Amino acid sequence: MRAGPLNRPGGPSPLSTAVLADRYLAPGETTCNDVFKRVAHALAAAEQPDQRAHFTRLFYANLLQGAIGAGRIMANAGSANHGTMVNCFVHPIGASEQSVADASDVERALHAAQRTLQMGGGVGYDFSVIAPADAEQATSNSGTGSVCAVLDSFDRVCATQALVNTRGGAQMAVLRCDHPDLATFITAKRGRRRWATFNLSVAVTDAFMRAVADDGLWCLQHRAVPNAQRLATGAHALSNGKWCYAVVPARQLWNMIAEAAHHSAEPGLLFIDTINAANDLAEIETIAATNPCGEQPLPPWGSCVLGPIDVSRWVQWPFGMGGQPLFDFVGLSRAVRVQVRMLDNAIEITRWPLPEHMHEAQAKRRIGVGVTGLADALTMMCLPYDAPAARCFAAQIGRCLRDSAYAASAALACERGPYPLFSPERSLAPGHFSAALPKAVCEAVAKHGLRNSHLLSLAPTGSVSLAFGDNCSSGIEPAFDWVYQRRVRIQHRAPQLYRTENRAYRLFRALYGQRAALPGYFVTARQIDGLDHLRMVATLQPFVDASISKTVLLPCSASCAQVAALLFHAWQLRLKGITIFRPDTGPDDVLSELPPLNGRLTCFC
């Protein structure tokens, strides 16, 4: 394909340079290219000795083209520090979900969390195995107390790590919709700075959602034995081996969830039955939690190596400058195939916080090829993010990612062997993700197997999009704005405000000048209806075997009823998860509009 104008608007912005230096440059490095060379060389070490030079060049070229690793890879691959290259982990709290976690279980889980956080991994947990506050175990000498008390302990461990690691730590707390402590969990962060290191999600089942739809009753239950006071109020044993603590209207809980999400963007929802039904390994694993951002549902001790590709780099003739905008799907497919190999290599050479992580990863070899710059690509293609044509184009990108990744994994399986737990009967069974692949790819999978159980994950990509994408739109999110201010903490200094320009906007200005009016296809997150945010996720989810991190940005004026309706519609669309954000403008906002011209920024770039 004939190359169009260069779709990068010159050198990096001061903000991108600052984030790069703070988070990713190793000693002696000064540019992105230095990082790319280090990462490519490190990941090629998994190859045969006589092939390492070749794959170093191949990985380096792919990195230059925008196929990068997630933050932990870019910071830690080939560096002298002891960090892991794996962003995503999920840890169990108890011995199994069929038991009640005791004090020793919690203590072991805290030690595992500390080790993982120290090495740079973010961790998600299902706290549903913790006894409720009204349980006999919680009032004995077990030491667990309640779900909220246990979360306090994990939050303190993570906050301590932030003192020695400028990036801090991130955790996800998940609680099932039938846990008796659900109401307290939902409201625990409201109006106060509690659990600052945690994102919160409620794992909702189809049964709960149907009870909400039908205005039915809902049983709050647990395996822990209720205390005497709770027994006196009518708690009783159930046939499933659990105890019913209370029966409440499902909509009462639903309204609490919607009010909390409306107020403070938490909790998000995980549609846990959809997640497990769509998992090709559902016969051998149960998923109850995700990583901190929600794009990677994982079993106990599960992990995933992530690597987004900046899809805006494959637009030819952006904005129609010099010809009709075109997209190089052949080039993107090549990049995906190289990306699969690079991420598979990362599993071999990364440092693992715990042996359990390594054993689980090597049995299933999960990786997550993703995207960033989707909104920029749509804008360069002259497509408004919220238009049906944009979703159709996004689906073409998703299909290219899926088909290319699975073809690459089958080719790797031919070369290196499939992942140990691979089963062709399971993976290619009707209704499974792999069964929807093109015939040629299915035949390759049937013949050679798959090197990786999961291959696709759409993550937020915040800081890597800043450092290596020159502030391209993050993940699959629409652009927050074209010119805005961003609050960033560098090292341990106070946060500074940077004037920030979106990369597609900068390119448009470089091509057409500062006075040219922005065409109608330049739309920002605030201009997009909440349903169109959901529709984009629903468009891409069929091509993603893991999940998608996506925040639905609503105007400040959005009502609680509107939030509730969007959350419910996300379930109807069979999404795997959803988070709603309604900004309440304040001095601590990470992203905000530019102040008036007489306003003052601490760092104007």
The boundaries of the domain holding residue 161 are 88-290
- Residue appearing with tokens 């075109």: 326
Ranges of residues in the chain with a pLDDT under 50 are 1-5, 141, 164, 166, 587, 595-605
- What pLDDT does 588 receive? 55
pLDDT digit string, tens, across residues 553-594: 999 999 999 999 999 999 999 999 999 998 765 545 666 665
For residue 318, being part of any structural domain is answered with no
For residue 222, being part of any structural domain is answered with yes
Selection from 467, 476, 454, 471 nearest residue 311 by Cα: 476
pLDDT digit string, tens, across residues 399-410: 999 999 999 999
For residue 530, being part of any structural domain is answered with no
pLDDT digit string, tens, across residues 72-102: 999 999 998 889 999 999 999 987 777 899 9
For residue 135, being part of any structural domain is answered with yes
- What pLDDT does 14 receive? 85
Dig out the tokens for 1 from the structure. Answer: 């394909």
For residue 311, being part of any structural domain is answered with no
- What pLDDT does 13 receive? 83
Distance (Å, rounded) from C-alpha 469 to C-alpha 259?
A: 36
Beta bridge mates, 592: 485
Strands 268-271 and 122-126: unpaired
With beta carbons less than 8 A apart as the criterion, state whether 329 and 336 touch. no
For residue 78, being part of any structural domain is answered with no
The total number of structural domains that make up the chain = 1
- What pLDDT does 491 receive? 74
Dig out the tokens for 94 from the structure. Answer: 């108890």
Selection from 419, 404, 428 nearest residue 450 by Cα: 419
Percentages helix, strand, coil for the chain, rounded to the nearest 5? 45, 15, 40
The CATH number assigned to the domain holding 136 equals 3.20.70.20
- What pLDDT does 520 receive? 96
Q: What is the pTM of this model?
A: 0.93
The sheet carrying 217-222 orders its strands as 217-222, 243-249, 236-237
- Residue appearing with tokens 């448009």: 508
E runs forming strands in 272-393:
289-290, 297-298, 303-310, 315-316, 326-327, 367-372
